[in-house]
Chain A
Amino acid sequence: MLQPIAERTYLVEVNVGALSVQKQVNFQFIPQLEGATIYAIQSFGATQLALSPNGSAVVTTAGLSDLTVTFAVGDNQDYFLVPVADLNSASISGFIRMISDKKLNLTKSFITLQGNANLVANQSVLFQFTYRAR
């Protein structure tokens, strides 16, 4: 299976905040990723990083299964309700999920809490984007 050759990567944190099923949390605006061509995405849980860069607790591996993520390209939701656990390399034999080159619109992209059995309020989930600069 082909794996990406990373030219640049950027780690992004999304905090789930208060818990409620079907809640959506949008990504923040990330200047470095604006207009960048993204070709691989990973998610990380507490097994990979005990605390987030902002000091929040990180969602557990089980908690990743409670989340989906939707990535928008422009106004179109090109990647709709992708299981976040499927982007977690440790859960998929170490692989990195690749996508065709996309300029993701992060501020219109969001995670959805499909359940909250394995989540705790104010935990963060981490995404790493592999990209080429503009």
Chain B
Amino acid sequence: MVKNNRVFDGIYTISILATVGQIVNVSTPQYFQNANYLANKTVKAITVTQNSLSDRFLITLVDTSGTQLLFNTPFRDLLQTSNGNPDQKLRLFRLNNIDLQRSYYTSVIPFGYTITGTIFNINFYI
């Protein structure tokens, strides 16, 4: 354990975009992406950007060997609001070899909810 201040060597951001009118079904894994930029790296912190549905997403991160590192972490626990929220502490991790092809988010949105824009950005601090 160390104090809540760490030095980061870089930040890798993934934008989760939705086509207007896209329907998101409950509990269907939505995989992050094919490019595997986080292999052989250690993620030290994670933040996400706020959106109107921030209480309805869960994030699961899996490493390159298939081990679940984070299982159903509530999106909102990683939230850093754009104008700064003094009550929200940066969540610190030591996550090696995250496999973005196996990592995903799920939603608890009522069945058939229609997304109307950008879903969120997720930022990995390495």
A residues adjacent to B (C-beta < 8 A): 1-11, 32, 42, 44, 46-53, 55, 89-90, 93-96, 126, 128, 133
Contacts and interface: CB of A to CB of B under 8 A. Distances in A.
Contact of B55 (A2, A11, A49, A53): A49
B70 A5 contact: no
Contacts of B106: 53
A3 B44 CA distance: 13
Contact of A46 (B1, B55, B89, B95): B55
B12 to A, nearest CB: 18
A87 B4 CA distance: 19
A49 B4 CA distance: 25
B38 interface: no
Contacts of A51: 56, 108, 110
A50 B89 contact: no
A9 B76 contact: no
Contact of A44 (B1, B68, B74): B74
A94 B26 contact: no
B8 interface: no
Nearest to A3: B4
B88 interface: yes
Contacts of B56: 49-51
For the side of the interface on B, what is the size category? 20 to 34
Interface of B: 1-4, 26-27, 44, 55-56, 58, 67-74, 76-77, 85, 87-89, 91-95, 106, 108, 110
Contacts of B85: 94
B125 to A, nearest CB: 12
B95 to A, nearest CB: 7
Nearest to B93: A6
B26 A55 contact: yes
A8 B92 CA distance: 11
A47 to B, nearest CB: 7
16 contacts: A1-B4, A2-B4, A5-B1, A7-B69, A8-B70, A9-B69, A11-B71, A11-B73, A32-B68, A49-B55, A49-B76, A51-B108, A53-B106, A90-B87, A93-B89, A128-B73
Contacts of B95: 6-7
Most B-side CB within 10 Å, residue of A7, A46, A49, A94:
A49
Given A3-B1, A5-B1, A11-B71, 17 more contacts: A2-B2, A2-B3, A3-B89, A5-B94, A6-B92, A6-B94, A8-B69, A10-B68, A11-B73, A42-B77, A49-B58, A49-B108, A50-B56, A51-B108, A55-B108, A89-B77, A89-B89
